[in-house]
A and B are shown apart, each in its own frame.
Chain A
Amino acid sequence: MGRFHPHADGTMHRHTDNHDHDHDHDHDDHAVPRDVGDHSGYTATGTARIEVLEDILSENDRVADANQKDFADAGVRVVNIMSSPGAGKTTLLKRTLERLGAATRVGILEGDIATSIDADQLEGYGAAVSLVNTSAGFGGECHLDAVMVRSGLARLPLPDLDLLLIENVGNLVCPAEFRVGEHAKAMVYAVTEGEEKPLKYPVMFRAVDVVVVNKVDLLPYLDFDLDKFLSNLKAVNPGALIIRASARTGEGVAEWCDWLLGQAGGTT
Protein backbone atom coordinates (compact mmCIF):
# COMPACT_ATOMS: atom_id res chain seq x y z
CA MET A 1 0.00 0.00 0.00
CA GLY A 2 2.03 2.89 -1.27
CA ARG A 3 1.53 5.96 0.78
CA PHE A 4 3.38 8.17 -1.64
CA HIS A 5 1.25 8.33 -4.74
CA PRO A 6 2.90 10.66 -7.18
CA HIS A 7 0.40 13.05 -8.64
CA ALA A 8 0.58 16.01 -10.93
CA ASP A 9 -1.80 18.07 -8.93
CA GLY A 10 0.42 20.24 -6.83
CA THR A 11 -2.27 22.78 -6.18
CA MET A 12 -3.85 21.05 -3.18
CA HIS A 13 -1.71 23.00 -0.84
CA ARG A 14 0.88 25.68 -0.86
CA HIS A 15 4.17 25.49 0.93
CA THR A 16 4.90 28.58 2.88
CA ASP A 17 8.37 27.63 3.97
CA ASN A 18 11.20 25.57 2.60
CA HIS A 19 11.21 21.85 3.25
CA ASP A 20 14.07 19.49 2.76
CA HIS A 21 12.18 17.11 0.53
CA ASP A 22 11.45 16.81 -3.12
CA HIS A 23 8.71 14.25 -3.45
CA ASP A 24 4.99 14.39 -3.93
CA HIS A 25 2.55 13.93 -1.13
CA ASP A 26 -1.05 12.99 -0.99
CA HIS A 27 -2.98 14.39 1.88
CA ASP A 28 -6.12 12.48 1.05
CA ASP A 29 -4.49 9.12 1.38
CA HIS A 30 -4.07 8.33 5.03
CA ALA A 31 -4.51 4.68 4.23
CA VAL A 32 -4.34 3.39 7.75
CA PRO A 33 -7.37 1.45 8.95
CA ARG A 34 -7.55 2.82 12.47
CA ASP A 35 -7.11 6.38 11.29
CA VAL A 36 -10.39 7.34 9.81
CA GLY A 37 -9.16 10.82 10.08
CA ASP A 38 -10.53 13.79 11.70
CA HIS A 39 -7.85 16.00 10.28
CA SER A 40 -9.62 19.19 11.14
CA GLY A 41 -6.99 19.98 13.71
CA TYR A 42 -4.36 20.76 11.15
CA THR A 43 -5.74 20.77 7.61
CA ALA A 44 -6.47 24.46 7.95
CA THR A 45 -2.80 25.17 7.65
CA GLY A 46 -1.82 22.09 5.62
CA THR A 47 0.71 19.41 6.23
CA ALA A 48 3.68 18.08 4.35
CA ARG A 49 5.06 14.57 4.29
CA ILE A 50 8.78 14.19 4.60
CA GLU A 51 10.31 10.84 3.81
CA VAL A 52 12.56 9.32 6.47
CA LEU A 53 13.11 5.64 5.55
CA GLU A 54 15.46 4.91 8.44
CA ASP A 55 15.68 1.79 10.55
CA ILE A 56 13.94 2.36 13.87
CA LEU A 57 16.87 0.84 15.76
CA SER A 58 19.62 2.63 13.83
CA GLU A 59 20.66 4.62 16.91
CA ASN A 60 20.99 1.39 18.91
CA ASP A 61 23.05 -0.10 16.08
CA ARG A 62 25.27 2.99 15.97
CA VAL A 63 26.07 2.57 19.69
CA ALA A 64 26.51 -1.19 19.18
CA ASP A 65 29.12 -0.41 16.51
CA ALA A 66 30.87 1.95 18.94
CA ASN A 67 30.86 -0.81 21.58
CA GLN A 68 32.30 -3.26 19.10
CA LYS A 69 35.08 -0.84 18.19
CA ASP A 70 35.95 -0.47 21.88
CA PHE A 71 36.02 -4.28 22.18
CA ALA A 72 38.33 -4.51 19.19
CA ASP A 73 40.63 -1.79 20.54
CA ALA A 74 40.80 -3.58 23.90
CA GLY A 75 41.28 -7.00 22.30
CA VAL A 76 38.34 -8.54 24.13
CA ARG A 77 35.83 -10.95 22.64
CA VAL A 78 32.21 -10.61 23.73
CA VAL A 79 29.41 -13.16 24.05
CA ASN A 80 25.81 -12.10 24.71
CA ILE A 81 24.05 -14.80 26.76
CA MET A 82 20.27 -14.93 26.67
CA SER A 83 17.55 -17.17 28.09
CA SER A 84 14.20 -17.26 29.86
CA PRO A 85 14.22 -16.35 33.54
CA GLY A 86 15.42 -19.34 35.54
CA ALA A 87 17.07 -21.29 32.73
CA GLY A 88 20.33 -21.30 34.64
CA LYS A 89 22.48 -18.54 33.16
CA THR A 90 23.93 -17.40 36.46
CA THR A 91 24.70 -20.92 37.71
CA LEU A 92 26.32 -21.78 34.38
CA LEU A 93 28.41 -18.61 34.65
CA LYS A 94 29.61 -19.63 38.11
CA ARG A 95 30.71 -23.04 36.78
CA THR A 96 32.28 -21.28 33.81
CA LEU A 97 34.34 -18.95 35.99
CA GLU A 98 35.45 -21.87 38.16
CA ARG A 99 36.62 -23.81 35.14
CA LEU A 100 38.29 -20.99 33.25
CA GLY A 101 40.10 -19.95 36.41
CA ALA A 102 42.86 -17.38 36.27
CA ALA A 103 44.11 -18.46 32.83
CA THR A 104 41.41 -16.44 31.12
CA ARG A 105 40.64 -12.93 32.21
CA VAL A 106 36.86 -12.75 32.23
CA GLY A 107 34.52 -9.82 32.71
CA ILE A 108 30.81 -10.16 33.38
CA LEU A 109 28.26 -7.55 32.48
CA GLU A 110 25.20 -8.52 34.45
CA GLY A 111 21.85 -7.24 33.24
CA ASP A 112 18.89 -7.43 35.58
CA ILE A 113 15.68 -5.46 35.82
CA ALA A 114 16.37 -4.82 39.49
CA THR A 115 18.46 -6.10 42.41
CA SER A 116 22.08 -7.17 42.55
CA ILE A 117 21.27 -10.79 43.52
CA ASP A 118 22.81 -12.37 40.41
CA ALA A 119 25.78 -10.01 40.37
CA ASP A 120 26.45 -10.76 44.05
CA GLN A 121 26.46 -14.49 43.30
CA LEU A 122 29.18 -13.97 40.74
CA GLU A 123 31.49 -12.06 43.08
CA GLY A 124 34.50 -13.92 44.43
CA TYR A 125 35.35 -15.89 41.28
CA GLY A 126 38.05 -13.51 40.14
CA ALA A 127 36.03 -11.92 37.38
CA ALA A 128 35.33 -8.21 37.02
CA VAL A 129 31.57 -7.80 37.39
CA SER A 130 29.56 -4.79 36.24
CA LEU A 131 25.87 -4.66 37.09
CA VAL A 132 23.37 -2.86 34.88
CA ASN A 133 19.90 -2.54 36.38
CA THR A 134 17.48 -1.75 33.59
CA SER A 135 14.82 -0.22 35.83
CA ALA A 136 16.44 3.21 35.89
CA GLY A 137 13.75 4.55 33.59
CA PHE A 138 10.04 3.87 33.60
CA GLY A 139 8.94 0.35 34.35
CA GLY A 140 12.15 -1.58 33.89
CA GLU A 141 13.38 -2.76 30.55
CA CYS A 142 13.15 -6.41 29.64
CA HIS A 143 16.44 -6.47 27.73
CA LEU A 144 19.84 -4.87 27.49
CA ASP A 145 20.32 -2.50 24.57
CA ALA A 146 23.56 -1.10 23.24
CA VAL A 147 23.31 2.09 25.32
CA MET A 148 22.80 0.20 28.59
CA VAL A 149 25.74 -2.06 27.79
CA ARG A 150 27.86 0.99 27.02
CA SER A 151 27.05 2.44 30.45
CA GLY A 152 28.11 -0.84 32.07
CA LEU A 153 31.37 -0.99 30.12
CA ALA A 154 32.61 2.13 31.88
CA ARG A 155 32.94 0.04 35.06
CA LEU A 156 35.00 -2.74 33.46
CA PRO A 157 38.77 -2.80 32.79
CA LEU A 158 38.28 -3.79 29.13
CA PRO A 159 41.96 -3.81 28.07
CA ASP A 160 42.71 -6.26 30.92
CA LEU A 161 40.09 -8.76 29.74
CA ASP A 162 40.18 -11.63 27.24
CA LEU A 163 36.50 -12.42 27.34
CA LEU A 164 33.43 -10.43 28.29
CA LEU A 165 30.24 -12.35 29.03
CA ILE A 166 27.04 -10.35 28.95
CA GLU A 167 24.26 -11.94 30.97
CA ASN A 168 21.16 -10.45 29.39
CA VAL A 169 17.82 -9.97 31.14
CA GLY A 170 15.88 -13.24 31.28
CA ASN A 171 13.40 -13.03 28.41
CA LEU A 172 12.88 -14.98 25.18
CA VAL A 173 11.55 -12.09 23.10
CA CYS A 174 13.10 -8.68 23.57
CA PRO A 175 16.87 -9.29 23.89
CA ALA A 176 16.91 -10.86 20.42
CA GLU A 177 15.95 -7.53 18.86
CA PHE A 178 18.83 -5.47 20.24
CA ARG A 179 22.44 -5.79 19.04
CA VAL A 180 24.84 -4.65 21.73
CA GLY A 181 28.10 -5.04 19.81
CA GLU A 182 28.73 -8.67 20.73
CA HIS A 183 30.74 -11.10 18.59
CA ALA A 184 28.51 -14.10 19.28
CA LYS A 185 25.15 -14.84 20.83
CA ALA A 186 24.54 -17.79 23.10
CA MET A 187 21.38 -19.16 24.60
CA VAL A 188 20.83 -21.19 27.74
CA TYR A 189 17.75 -23.34 27.48
CA ALA A 190 16.44 -25.53 30.27
CA VAL A 191 14.77 -28.84 29.46
CA THR A 192 11.99 -27.85 31.88
CA GLU A 193 10.82 -25.26 29.34
CA GLY A 194 9.28 -27.76 26.92
CA GLU A 195 10.02 -28.88 23.36
CA GLU A 196 7.98 -26.31 21.46
CA LYS A 197 9.72 -23.08 22.43
CA PRO A 198 11.94 -22.84 19.32
CA LEU A 199 8.76 -22.68 17.25
CA LYS A 200 7.12 -20.13 19.53
CA TYR A 201 10.17 -17.86 19.86
CA PRO A 202 11.89 -18.31 16.50
CA VAL A 203 13.46 -14.85 16.46
CA MET A 204 15.50 -15.63 19.57
CA PHE A 205 16.37 -19.18 18.53
CA ARG A 206 17.39 -18.04 15.06
CA ALA A 207 19.64 -15.31 16.39
CA VAL A 208 22.04 -17.47 18.41
CA ASP A 209 25.25 -19.30 17.53
CA VAL A 210 25.06 -21.86 20.32
CA VAL A 211 22.30 -23.34 22.48
CA VAL A 212 23.27 -24.79 25.84
CA VAL A 213 20.56 -27.32 26.67
CA ASN A 214 20.74 -27.07 30.42
CA LYS A 215 19.42 -29.13 33.35
CA VAL A 216 19.76 -32.43 31.45
CA ASP A 217 20.23 -34.12 34.85
CA LEU A 218 16.46 -33.67 35.24
CA LEU A 219 15.59 -35.57 32.04
CA PRO A 220 14.74 -38.86 33.82
CA TYR A 221 12.05 -37.04 35.80
CA LEU A 222 10.46 -35.14 32.92
CA ASP A 223 8.31 -35.90 29.89
CA PHE A 224 10.61 -33.65 27.86
CA ASP A 225 11.29 -35.19 24.44
CA LEU A 226 14.85 -34.14 23.65
CA ASP A 227 14.75 -35.39 20.05
CA LYS A 228 11.60 -33.42 19.37
CA PHE A 229 13.17 -30.30 20.87
CA LEU A 230 16.29 -30.73 18.74
CA SER A 231 14.18 -31.22 15.63
CA ASN A 232 12.21 -28.03 16.43
CA LEU A 233 15.46 -26.18 17.02
CA LYS A 234 16.92 -27.39 13.72
CA ALA A 235 13.79 -26.20 11.92
CA VAL A 236 14.45 -22.60 12.93
CA ASN A 237 18.24 -22.64 13.28
CA PRO A 238 19.96 -25.50 11.48
CA GLY A 239 23.43 -24.05 12.09
CA ALA A 240 23.41 -23.64 15.88
CA LEU A 241 25.89 -25.61 17.96
CA ILE A 242 24.08 -27.63 20.62
CA ILE A 243 25.69 -28.43 23.96
CA ARG A 244 23.99 -30.78 26.43
CA ALA A 245 24.76 -29.50 29.88
CA SER A 246 23.91 -29.43 33.53
CA ALA A 247 25.34 -26.51 35.41
CA ARG A 248 24.39 -28.41 38.57
CA THR A 249 26.38 -31.59 37.86
CA GLY A 250 28.99 -29.98 35.63
CA GLU A 251 28.08 -31.99 32.52
CA GLY A 252 28.82 -30.08 29.34
CA VAL A 253 30.56 -27.22 31.12
CA ALA A 254 33.91 -28.19 29.56
CA GLU A 255 32.45 -28.16 26.06
CA TRP A 256 30.81 -24.79 26.71
CA CYS A 257 34.07 -23.35 28.03
CA ASP A 258 35.93 -24.69 24.98
CA TRP A 259 33.43 -22.94 22.75
CA LEU A 260 33.91 -19.70 24.73
CA LEU A 261 37.69 -20.00 24.48
CA GLY A 262 37.31 -20.60 20.76
CA GLN A 263 35.46 -17.29 20.62
CA ALA A 264 38.26 -15.66 22.57
CA GLY A 265 40.87 -17.21 20.30
CA GLY A 266 42.51 -19.20 23.12
CA THR A 267 42.78 -22.82 24.24
CA THR A 268 42.60 -24.62 27.54
Chain B
Amino acid sequence: MHELSIAEAIAQKVRERATGRPVAAVAIRVGHFRQVVPDALEFCWTMVTDATGLEGCRLEIEQVPATVSCQDCGATTTLDVPILLCESCGGTKVTLMTGQEFMVVSLEIMEV
Protein backbone atom coordinates (compact mmCIF):
# COMPACT_ATOMS: atom_id res chain seq x y z
CA MET B 1 0.00 0.00 0.00
CA HIS B 2 2.27 2.76 -1.21
CA GLU B 3 -0.57 4.31 -3.21
CA LEU B 4 -0.94 7.13 -0.69
CA SER B 5 2.65 8.25 -1.27
CA ILE B 6 2.09 8.03 -5.00
CA ALA B 7 -1.14 10.04 -4.82
CA GLU B 8 0.68 12.72 -2.82
CA ALA B 9 3.52 12.80 -5.37
CA ILE B 10 1.01 13.22 -8.20
CA ALA B 11 -0.83 15.99 -6.33
CA GLN B 12 2.46 17.80 -5.78
CA LYS B 13 3.22 17.69 -9.52
CA VAL B 14 -0.29 18.89 -10.34
CA ARG B 15 0.01 21.86 -8.00
CA GLU B 16 3.41 22.80 -9.40
CA ARG B 17 2.15 22.86 -12.96
CA ALA B 18 -1.31 24.27 -12.32
CA THR B 19 0.04 27.29 -10.43
CA GLY B 20 -3.30 27.99 -8.80
CA ARG B 21 -5.51 27.42 -11.84
CA PRO B 22 -8.37 24.96 -11.27
CA VAL B 23 -7.62 21.47 -12.57
CA ALA B 24 -10.35 19.25 -14.05
CA ALA B 25 -8.23 16.15 -14.54
CA VAL B 26 -4.77 14.67 -14.41
CA ALA B 27 -3.73 11.86 -16.72
CA ILE B 28 -1.12 9.38 -15.56
CA ARG B 29 0.47 6.38 -17.25
CA VAL B 30 1.29 3.37 -15.09
CA GLY B 31 2.94 0.15 -16.17
CA HIS B 32 1.62 -3.12 -14.77
CA PHE B 33 5.05 -3.89 -13.36
CA ARG B 34 4.84 -0.94 -10.97
CA GLN B 35 2.66 -2.84 -8.49
CA VAL B 36 0.10 -0.07 -8.27
CA VAL B 37 -3.48 -1.06 -7.47
CA PRO B 38 -5.67 1.34 -9.49
CA ASP B 39 -8.65 1.19 -7.10
CA ALA B 40 -6.40 1.88 -4.13
CA LEU B 41 -4.75 4.75 -5.97
CA GLU B 42 -8.12 6.29 -6.83
CA PHE B 43 -9.22 6.00 -3.21
CA CYS B 44 -6.02 7.67 -2.03
CA TRP B 45 -6.37 10.30 -4.75
CA THR B 46 -9.80 11.30 -3.43
CA MET B 47 -8.36 11.56 0.07
CA VAL B 48 -5.35 13.62 -1.04
CA THR B 49 -7.24 15.97 -3.33
CA ASP B 50 -10.00 16.67 -0.82
CA ALA B 51 -7.37 17.89 1.59
CA THR B 52 -5.28 20.01 -0.74
CA GLY B 53 -7.41 22.32 -2.86
CA LEU B 54 -7.66 19.94 -5.82
CA GLU B 55 -11.20 18.84 -4.96
CA GLY B 56 -12.96 17.19 -7.88
CA CYS B 57 -9.84 16.75 -9.97
CA ARG B 58 -10.28 13.47 -11.84
CA LEU B 59 -7.50 10.92 -12.02
CA GLU B 60 -7.27 9.24 -15.44
CA ILE B 61 -5.16 6.11 -15.22
CA GLU B 62 -3.76 4.71 -18.44
CA GLN B 63 -2.43 1.24 -17.74
CA VAL B 64 0.40 -0.19 -19.82
CA PRO B 65 0.67 -3.98 -19.99
CA ALA B 66 3.98 -5.59 -19.11
CA THR B 67 5.66 -7.17 -22.13
CA VAL B 68 8.88 -9.15 -22.28
CA SER B 69 11.13 -10.04 -25.18
CA CYS B 70 12.81 -13.46 -25.11
CA GLN B 71 16.58 -13.43 -25.56
CA ASP B 72 16.53 -17.05 -26.75
CA CYS B 73 13.67 -17.30 -29.23
CA GLY B 74 12.91 -13.62 -29.84
CA ALA B 75 9.20 -13.91 -29.07
CA THR B 76 7.32 -11.11 -27.33
CA THR B 77 4.99 -12.05 -24.48
CA THR B 78 2.38 -9.87 -22.80
CA LEU B 79 2.32 -10.85 -19.14
CA ASP B 80 -0.96 -11.47 -17.35
CA VAL B 81 0.87 -12.05 -14.08
CA PRO B 82 4.18 -10.54 -13.00
CA ILE B 83 6.13 -13.70 -13.73
CA LEU B 84 8.99 -13.20 -16.15
CA LEU B 85 8.60 -16.10 -18.55
CA CYS B 86 8.56 -16.41 -22.34
CA GLU B 87 5.16 -17.75 -23.39
CA SER B 88 6.59 -19.21 -26.56
CA CYS B 89 9.57 -21.28 -25.36
CA GLY B 90 9.17 -21.13 -21.58
CA GLY B 91 12.58 -19.46 -21.21
CA THR B 92 13.45 -17.18 -18.34
CA LYS B 93 16.04 -15.06 -20.18
CA VAL B 94 13.68 -12.24 -20.98
CA THR B 95 14.01 -8.48 -21.14
CA LEU B 96 11.22 -6.29 -19.80
CA MET B 97 10.14 -4.07 -22.70
CA THR B 98 7.13 -2.25 -21.26
CA GLY B 99 5.40 -2.16 -17.90
CA GLN B 100 7.66 0.10 -15.86
CA GLU B 101 6.04 3.36 -16.98
CA PHE B 102 5.21 5.73 -14.13
CA MET B 103 4.46 9.19 -15.36
CA VAL B 104 2.23 12.22 -15.06
CA VAL B 105 1.24 12.67 -18.70
CA SER B 106 -0.90 15.81 -18.73
CA LEU B 107 -3.26 18.09 -16.87
CA GLU B 108 -6.59 19.43 -17.95
CA ILE B 109 -6.78 23.00 -16.77
CA MET B 110 -10.15 24.73 -16.51
CA GLU B 111 -10.28 28.01 -18.33
CA VAL B 112 -12.18 30.62 -16.42
Contacts and interface: CB of A to CB of B under 8 A. Distances in A.
Interface in A188-244: 199-200, 202-203, 234-236
Interface residues of B, number: 40
A155 interface: no
Contact of A235 (B62, B84, B108): B84
A45 B111 contact: yes
Given A35-B58, A141-B2, A47 B102 contact: no
A43 to B, nearest CB: 9
A32 to B, nearest CB: 4
A205 B9 CA distance: 25
A254 interface: no
A32 B60 CA distance: 7
Interface string B9-51: 1101100010000101101100001110000000000010000
A102 B57 CA distance: 55
B60 A57 contact: no
A142 B2 contact: yes
Nearest to B102: A56
Contact of A56 (B13, B58, B110, B112): B13
A53 interface: yes
B1 A138 contact: no
A177 B4 CA distance: 13
B106 A52 contact: yes
B73 interface: no
A49 B107 contact: yes
Secondary structure call for the A interface: loop
A139 B8 CA distance: 14
Contact of A174 (B2, B56, B109): B2
A203 B9 contact: no
A138 B4 contact: yes
A59 B2 contact: no
B103 interface: yes
A45 B110 contact: yes
A196 B4 CA distance: 28
A227 to B, nearest CB: 15
Given A15-B111, A138-B4, A55 B105 contact: no
Contacts of A19: 109
A56 B92 contact: no
Given A59-B9, A142-B1, A199 B103 contact: no
A104 interface: no
A46 interface: yes
17 contacts: A3-B62, A30-B60, A32-B61, A35-B25, A42-B110, A47-B108, A49-B106, A51-B106, A52-B103, A52-B104, A54-B13, A56-B10, A139-B4, A173-B35, A174-B2, A174-B35, A200-B82
Interface of B: 1-2, 4-6, 9-10, 12-13, 17, 22, 24-25, 27-28, 33-35, 47, 56, 58, 60-62, 82-85, 92, 102-112
Given A50-B109, A52-B17, A143-B5, 16 more contacts: A41-B24, A46-B111, A47-B108, A47-B110, A52-B107, A56-B9, A56-B10, A56-B13, A57-B6, A138-B4, A173-B2, A173-B35, A178-B2, A203-B33, A235-B84, A235-B85
